[in-house]
């Protein structure tokens, strides 16, 4: 019995039982030269998703990226790293206010959104919650999820004495 209990708490590899030969989560052959080429090929804004450290944010700025999305890709690539909210201040410092920094990953409440905005994120991307609403109730489910997040954000803004998103600032979080 004790042996079974110990194994039930063991960390299990994400892809157990799947043939992952030749599958990678990143392409090590991609370089900043590729980013510059993509930038030259389009008039659209180029955002890089998956930035977690200040050094990479600086490289984004140096290589003409128009914006950054701080993301750990839902933890699918590596689940033991820092949360995106923990990475945000370092990425903001690396970007130095020269390009917008957005964030995603784990935002489930209006208070989560408030904290990210207070720390300096330009916007917060909502991933799974809207998918849950869609899966459960279709478009009305997505609309309800967004309504709930908006209502929660407005509530915490009122509790902090802010009347607009622009008034949210770093002093409001510790």
Q: Could you give the angle at which helices 139-159 and 110-119 cross, rounded to 10 degrees?
A: 60
> What's the predicted TM-score (pTM) here?
0.80
> Can 73 be counted among the known catalytic residues?
yes
Candidates 36, 39, 58, 73; catalytic one: 73
Residue 14 dihedral angles phi and psi, to the nearest 5° = -65, -35
Distance CA 56, CA 69 (A): 12
Reading the block at residue 82, the tokens are 């820092």
> Would you state the pLDDT for residue 40?
92
> Would you state the pLDDT for residue 74?
58
Residue 107 dihedral angles phi and psi, to the nearest 5° = -85, 110
Whose tokens are 């902090």? That residue is: 160
What pLDDT digit, counting tens, does each position of 38-61 carry?
999 999 999 999 999 999 999 999
What pLDDT digit, counting tens, does each position of 63-107 carry?
999 999 999 875 555 566 788 999 999 999 999 999 999 999 889
Q: Which domains does the chain have, with CATH numbers?
A: 33-162 (3.20.20.70)
């Amino acid at each position: 019995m004790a042996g079974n209990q110990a194994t039930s708490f063991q960390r299990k590899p994400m892809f157990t039982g799947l043939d992952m030969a030749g599958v990678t989560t990143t392409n090590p052959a991609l370089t900043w030269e590729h980013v510059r080429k993509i930038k030259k090929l389009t008039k659209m804004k180029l955002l890089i998703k998956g930035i977690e450290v200040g050094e990479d944010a600086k490289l984004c700025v140096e290589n003409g990226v128009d914006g950054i999305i701080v993301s750990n890709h839902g933890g699918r690539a590596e689940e033991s790293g820092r949360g995106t909210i923990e990475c945000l201040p370092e990425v903001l410092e690396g970007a130095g206010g020269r390009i917008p920094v957005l964030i995603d990953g784990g935002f489930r409440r209006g208070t989560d959104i408030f904290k990210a905005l207070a720390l300096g994120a330009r916007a917060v991307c909502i991933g799974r919650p809207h998918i849950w609403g869609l899966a459960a109730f279709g478009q009305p489910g997505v609309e309800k999820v967004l309504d709930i997040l908006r209502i929660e954000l407005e509530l915490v803004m009122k509790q902090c004495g802010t009347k607009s998103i622009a008034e949210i600032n770093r002093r409001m979080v510790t």
